[in-house]
Amino acid sequence: MIYLLIFTIAIVFLALFIILTMFDTMRRGDIDISQAKPFKEKAAIYDKLPADSTK
């Protein structure tokens, strides 16, 4: 029973960490405009991407 409790607490803390990290990275552009766009907009990686993401 103690192992189940320890495992559950570990999963809860892991989920909390992931949720807070995702909240930080998803909302960072709302606070600081310089973080909302890529550092280098004309980088080579963007040349290979299609204009429409559904293709």
Q: 27, 21 in Cβ contact below 8 A?
A: no
Inside any domain, residue 51: no
Which of helix, strand or coil describes residue 28? helix
C-alpha span between 7 and 12 (Å, rounded): 9
Please report which confidence band the pLDDT of residue 47 belongs to, taking 50, 70 and 90 as the band edges.
Answer: confident
Q: How many domains does the chain have?
A: 1
Inside any domain, residue 10: yes
C-alpha span between 31 and 19 (Å, rounded): 18
Inside any domain, residue 41: yes
The stretch 12-32 carries a mean pLDDT of: 87
Higher-pLDDT residue of 33, 21: 21
List the domain range (segments joined by +) for residue 32: 2-46
Please report which confidence band the pLDDT of residue 38 belongs to, taking 50, 70 and 90 as the band edges.
Answer: low
Inside any domain, residue 40: yes
